[in-house]
Structure 1
Amino acid sequence: MADPSTYRPKPGQIPDSPGVYRFRDEHGRVIYVGKAKSLRQRLASYFQDLAGLHQRTRTMVTTAASVEWTVVSTEVEALQLEYSWIKEYDPRFNVKYRDDKSYPSLAVTMNEEYPRVLVMRGPKKKGVRYFGPYGHAWAIRETVDLMLRAFPVRTCSAGVFKRSRQIGRPCLLGYIGKCSAPCVDRISAEEHRELAEEFCDFMAGRTAGYLRRLETQMREASEEMEYERAARLRDDIEALRHAMEKNAVVLTDATDADLIALAEDELEAAVQIFHVRGGRVRGQRGWVTDKVEDVTSAGLVEHALQQLYGEESGDAVPREVLVPALPEPVAPVREWLAGRRGSRVDLRIPQRGDKKALMETVRRNAQQALVLHKTKRASDLTTRSRALEEIAQALDLDTAPLRIECYDISHLQGDDVVGSMVVFEDGLVRKSEYRRFEIKSFAGQDDVRAMHEVLTRRFRRYLADKARTGEGVGEQPADGTPEGEVPDTTRDETGRPKKFAYPPQLVVVDGGRPQVAAAAKALAELGIDDVAVCGLAKRLEEVWLPGEDDPVVLPRSSEGLYLLQRVRDEAHRFAISYQRKKRAASMKAGPLDDVPGLGDTRRTALLKHFGSLKRLRAATIDQLCEVPGIGRRTAEAIAAALAKTSPAAPAVNTATGEIMEDD
């Protein structure tokens, strides 16, 4: 591990100008490429105290052995040079997007004398027009089959084309009218190229003018009594409209736009792109990346734009690019996109209407792609085994933790405090073993105290069962559950509640040193010393152990860290869902049920606005009227209903609108 001070440039050597910099390792390989508006300020940020750097940045600067830079005139030039160097050097610490699956595209080889239409995957080639990508190759073939009636462009391979020229006979498509047969000179090379260009224009969304032209030709043929030609044109128009109907209209104003959405966690991010042309979704693609550098959502968007348009021709850049976050600064990126397109590009975040709704759809696709990616990764037996071994090694355990229990606390500003317990066995979830805890002994934002109570209740039950049966497992009491704990309704074949199979080898808590100390204290008070405890802090994904001053930092690519993260996230999800369910139930049932005109939608709005029934009781009528959909008459009815059911039966001061409380 190198000391950054050994290769730090002197302050006067670094220019205060825009530029691009490269970090190299001891073997001279480029490991990171970045750009900056001011090279001096940016590079200085890498050579501060290592303790103040993000974990991933710290790893990069200690891996590097030298740094060099190139000065450019503008930030746009810096953006272009950064992209070129990332492509050339493939640095290990830069964001690398990879397709979450192989998407096929419809390609037209305009670089050939006789352009050909085909399905193509993989890297894009110069001189070839691409449309899509599509979700499935058969979707492209269906579209092409319909289009060939109106645009009989060549689709055969080079071998078939050459063979047809030699024997002087076209292939089957030439005989049935789905190819103009340039191989036997039914059409000249220039005419065939013009036909291919019309095909490309139609696929690019310029459909209305072409359809109008065909309709005009059909009417003229009919007036001239060329009925066979008119019928062929009619069939061509129907085929083209049928091909267009396969792509649903999503934007009624015939917009050309690309929509980019993100789904991310601390280690990985998924990007989804919808290509909309003429108001219709013409293609979709997705990428997944490891967060090997400390990057924000804005940074991920900038990298996605570079990946998407860095090698595209100008007509592939639409007039609008809708993103979830704007790059910082945004002006150079807009200028770069305008240079790629040859005209202005509107790069923005959609705020309302159809475009915002479509962006939400793209975001859901990104979330599903990330979940699918993680599921595939977690389902591999070899990967799970390696993850458990890495955890055992990092935490100095005697054996791999085959059963892991994770605990989390959730509340809303101190109200409705709940806890969750999730179980992973052999690296897989065991939902039948999940437990939920309702904290009734206190209220407030004290996660440490709540964590201590949850661990105490869980392991006190385990000890009681162990004492009852004389072994490590036992039944739950007949009355179901300790006070405040939600009963588990999952039952075995005998009708009795299921057992805890055995105690965990590892307890994971969502949090840092304080939560870990509370969990360790709870186990120590119960005399349990054979269960390991650790905590996973979200900020830097650090693993904390009881009594340790410094955390354990697992490598970013560690399967063990990935498994701990999945366990922690599942506990957090389970706790949040229970807390929200309790909060909704407390608002739905009770004093507000009989208020006239107050349905589920308005009750939900009240919940979101005030957060709890306690705060709702304390609200004035004017404050109630601030909630969307709540008028003054409804607010007065709500205040009266709450006053009747209040423990102290407060009255409402109709003069001031305030809910009066007794001293």
Structure 2
Amino acid sequence: MSQVAPLRDVAAGLPLVPGCYLFRDGQGKLLYVGKAKNLRRRVLSYFRPLESQPAKTRALLRDARRLEVILTGSEVEALILENSLVKRHRPRFNVLLRDDKNFPYLKLTMGEPFPRVVLVRRPRQDGNLYFGPYTPASVARRSLKMIARFFKVATCYESFDGSRRRPCLLYQMKQCLAPCVGYVQEAPYGEAVRHVRLFLEGRDKELAGELERRMAAASKALEYENAARYRDLLRAVAALNRRQAVAAVGLEDQDYFAMHREGNSASLAIFEMRAGLVQSRREFFFEGAGGEDEAFMEQALSRYYSVAPLVPGRVFVSTPPEGAGVLEEWLAGRRGQRVRIKCPRRGVHRQFMDTVLENARLAWESRFAADHNLGVAVHEALRETLGLAETPSRIEALDISHLAGRETVASVVVWEDGRPRRSEYRRLNIRSARPGDDYAAMEEAVARRYGRLVREKRRLPDLVLVDGGAGQLAAAQAALAKLGVGNLPVIALAKQREEIYLPGVKEPVELSTHDPVRHLVTRIRDEAHRFALAAHRRRRRRRTLTTELMQVRGIGRRRSRDLLQTFGSVEGVRRASQGRLMAVVGPVVAAAVRAHFSQERS
């Protein structure tokens, strides 16, 4: 990629400050917008060796011709600017939250004497209140009918200027107070509107309390017809509570984000909880979703809340996002109050997150089911291409990764029935191989992985795929032969030209770029590579964070780990109060931590 060199030169000269960076194609069209705390360091990371980059980054660099930056005063300002640019230009390589369709909202009009509730497809910043989106759309229509039946607030577009002389059929059915013909005064109608708002905001407990008080007052005043109406409203609210209650996760407003990814396709499920009840559920789908899960979640959160009408006090995620502290600060600015992003590990929030994760998995399967059907034919074609006796239903891929020859790690990914089994992925820290010796590292990884399966008499894969060429293939064969399973099918897939090396065949097999077998084995190999790189980045990040905290007097490795587990990041430790720090490391070290970061700011 000759066009990459000039971009790398530009990146090397960038300042070490926060800002946004923009990749453009030859015609000046915006391809990608990103934010950075340190522009030079972040942008230079795009120009590491291409084989270590996700497929999405490789595609971006293939099309990019220009690199621009916009400096900002802080990382939060960069995040705000990034969101603005993405919404305005919708760059091709950014994570964009696209629905299959526009799900409906309910609009409560606030700029007229007699507000009404109507169904709309797009919310606008016009001073009205919007509730939703509702999925499926039938929930919105059913809610609209309930509002008409029990609250009798107008649900039509009829003019209220006094020109109408007779009320419509809804009034005859006792499903409207008929403000269009002046049958109701503003005060009692306003009371009904207030009840509707409580109902739509999910504040059913508050609504029920008010209805009980009004029912008791009406009964005491011998207004039995009004008392009966409030009784019916109470029953309707109670019935709605029973239908919607999912888990006792608290009464605060909170959202749940769960991601399910297989290969380069992903689904994102979002559940909005209001007053302990599920108010809405949304699903988004992504193809070409390369990179780390943490970066994906960070972009998803920032895109979603840049347009969401309400930011809750707590956001629960299935994967911790990158830059959680910065996101919390930005969300707090939008909300006007503190916001916390959490990845639940236990308790009712973990249980509910499992439900949201299952929804994300089912959504993924329903959206990408056709890929699975196609996968059966592709696996059969793989059997024919490799000359295997049986169609491989379980494939395992191994990849070796290291940092300049140090900290060598092997990753093992499992592919079964056309789908990755992420719960069975494994990482192995290479112990005996000499640093930089990829062949010895592969032999050790294969020996340890399949030695354990043999000892525990567990199922062996139908095919082993190793990343590399003839040398890695020979190393894997040698390890399998020593274990007594030399007949286990094994192949190697080399980068660059994506050639397949087969045992006993001198020349590699080179498939056409459109061959589905090539796409399958490349996809599995890339998943192993992504998994290995993600492990390295996490280890490097943990080591960097731990080292920074260990500069504080009185903090060693154990206390550093305790602080990071409690506060999530160095930024979280920096913002923690004296009292919260004392609860973890005691008063003396807490004071040292505060002094260290105060000195850093000055």
**Structure 1 counterpart of 2:263, which letter?**
E
8 Å contact kept, 2:268–2:283: yes
Is 1:309 aligned with 2:305? Answer: yes
What SS does the corresponding residue of 2:298 show, helix, strand or coil?
A: helix
SS in 2 for 1:246: helix
Letter in 1 for 2:345: Q
Corresponding residue for 1:153? 153
List aligned pairs for 1:189-588, cutoff 5 A: 195-251=192-248, 253-294=250-291, 296-313=292-309, 316-379=310-373, 405=392, 408=395, 447=446, 509-513=464-468, 544-546=500-502, 563-564=520-521
In structure 1, the partner of 2:103 is 104
Match of 1:624 in 2: none
User: Whole-Å Cα distance in 1 between the matches of residues 52 and 293 of structure 2?
Assistant: 21
Q: Is the 8 A contact 2:466 2:490 kept in 1?
A: no
Identity percentage over the alignment? 31
Please tell me whether the aligned partners of residues 97 and 304 of structure 2 are also in contact (alpha carbons under 8 angstroms).
Answer: no
Q: Structure 1 residues 354 and 166 mapped into 2: Cα distance closer, same or farther (>3 Å)?
A: same
Indicate the residue corresponding to 1:494 in structure 2: none
* Greater per-residue helix proportion: 2
Matched, 1:67 2:63: no
Q: 1:338: Cα distance to partner?
A: 0.8
Q: How far 1:373 sits from its partner (Å)? A: 2.1
CA displacement 1:498-546 (0-9 Å, x = unmatched): xxxxxxxxx964333478669999xxxxxxxxxx996569x99966444
SS at match of 2:259: strand
1:8 CA drift (Å): 3.6
1:247 shift after superposition: 0.5
Contact 2:266 2:289 in 1 (8 A): no
CA spacing shift, 1:344–1:323, aligned 2, 3 Å: same
- Determine if contact 1:406/1:510 at 8 Å carries over to the other structure: no
Work out the CA distance in 2 between the residues paired with 1:193 and 1:218.
17
Change in CA separation of 1:367 and 1:94 when aligned onto 2, cut-off 3 Å: same
Residues 331 and 408 of structure 1: CA distance in aligned 2, closer, same or farther (over 3 Å): closer
The secondary structure found in structure 1 opposite 2:297 is helix
**Any conservation in 2 of the 1:23–1:33 contact (CA below 8 Å)?**
yes
Q: Decide whether the 8 Å contact of 2:18 with 2:73 is kept in 1.
A: yes
1:461 aligns with none
Q: Is the 8 A contact 2:397 2:465 kept in 1?
A: no
Output the aligned Cα RMSD: 4.7
> 1:637 corresponds to which residue?
none
In structure 2, C-alpha distance between the alignment counterparts of 1:330 and 1:260, rounded to whole Å:
14
Amino acid at match of 1:331: G
* Partners of 2:356 and 2:346 in 1: CA distance: 15
- Give a deviation string over 1:265-295, Cα, whole Å, max 9, x none: 331221111111111222211112123442x
Distance 1:450 1:212, change over 3 A: closer
Matches within 5 A, 1:613-652: none
The structural deviation recorded for 1:379 is 4.3
- Give 1:141's aligned amino acid: R
- Quote the offset at 1:567 in angstroms: 8.8
Equivalent-residue separation in structure 1 for 2:110 and 2:4 (angstroms): 49
Q: Is the alpha carbon distance of 1:43 and 1:168 closer, same or farther for their aligned partners in structure 2, counting shifts above 3 Å?
A: same
Asked whether the 8 Å contact 1:406–1:509 carries over to 2, the reply is no
CA distance in 2: counterparts of 1:200 and 1:248, whole angstroms: 19
In 2: Cα distance, 1:164 partner to 1:355 partner: 50
Q: 1:205 to 1:540 in 2, by over 3 A?
A: farther
Query: What SS is found at the alignment partner of 1:78?
Result: helix
Amino acid at match of 2:331: L
* Residues 164 and 171 in structure 1, CA contact (< 8 A), matched pair in contact too: no
Q: May I ask how many residue pairs the two structures share in their alignment?
A: 468
Quick one: distance in 1 between partners of 2:458 and 2:235? 65
User: Compared with structure 1, are the counterparts of its residues 301 and 52 closer, same or farther at alpha carbon in structure 2 (3 Å cutoff)?
Assistant: closer
In 2: Cα distance, 1:541 partner to 1:181 partner: 73
Shift of residue 252 of structure 1?
5.5
Asked if structure 2 preserves the Cα contact closer than 8 Å seen for 1:406 and 1:568, the reply is: no
TM-score normalised to structure 1 length = 0.60
Stretches of structure 2 lacking an aligned partner (at least 5 in a row): 399-413, 420-442, 479-488, 527-602
1:104/1:60 Cα in 2 relative to 1: closer, same or farther (>3 Å)? Answer: closer
Aligned counterparts of 2:264 and 2:149: Cα–Cα separation in 1: 49
User: 172, 176, 182: which one pairs with 1:175?
Assistant: 172
AA aligned opposite 2:234: I
- Measured in 2, the distance between the counterparts of 1:246 and 1:516 equals 58
User: What secondary structure, in the 3-state scheme, does the structure 2 residue paired with 1:511 have?
Assistant: strand
Cα 1:299–1:446 change in 2 (3 A) is closer
Give the whole-Å Cα distance in 2 for the aligned partners of 1:235 and 1:541.
71
CA distance in 2, matches of 1:186, 1:251: 43
Give the distance between the partners of 1:222 and 1:106, measured in 2 at CA. 36
Q: Deviations over 1:231-266 (max 9, x none)?
A: 122112212222222201412632321111111133
Query: Secondary structure of the equivalent of 1:336?
Result: helix
Work out whether 1:142 is the aligned partner of 2:171. Answer: no
Whole-angstrom distance in 1 between the partners of 2:55 and 2:344: 33
Q: Offset at 1:184?
A: 1.7
Contact kept in structure 2, 1:22 and 1:69, CA below 8 Å = yes
Q: Is the 8 A contact 2:379 2:393 kept in 1?
A: no
Give the aligned partner of residue 641 of structure 1.
Answer: none
* Correspondence for 1:472: none
CA distance in 2, matches of 1:361, 1:120: 29
- Amino acid in the other structure paired with 1:285: R
The one-letter code sitting in structure 2 at the alignment partner of 1:311 is V
SS in 2 for 1:148: helix
Identify the residue that residue 573 of structure 1 maps to in structure 2: none
Q: CA, structure 1 residues 421+179, in 2 after alignment: closer, same or farther (shift >3 Å)?
A: closer
Q: Secondary structure at the match of 2:333?
A: helix
Q: CA deviation at 1:142?
A: 3.1
Q: Find the residue that maps to 2:244 and give its secondary structure.
A: coil
Whole-Å separation in 1 of the counterparts to 2:324 and 2:262: 24
What letter corresponds to residue 243 of structure 1 in structure 2?
Answer: L
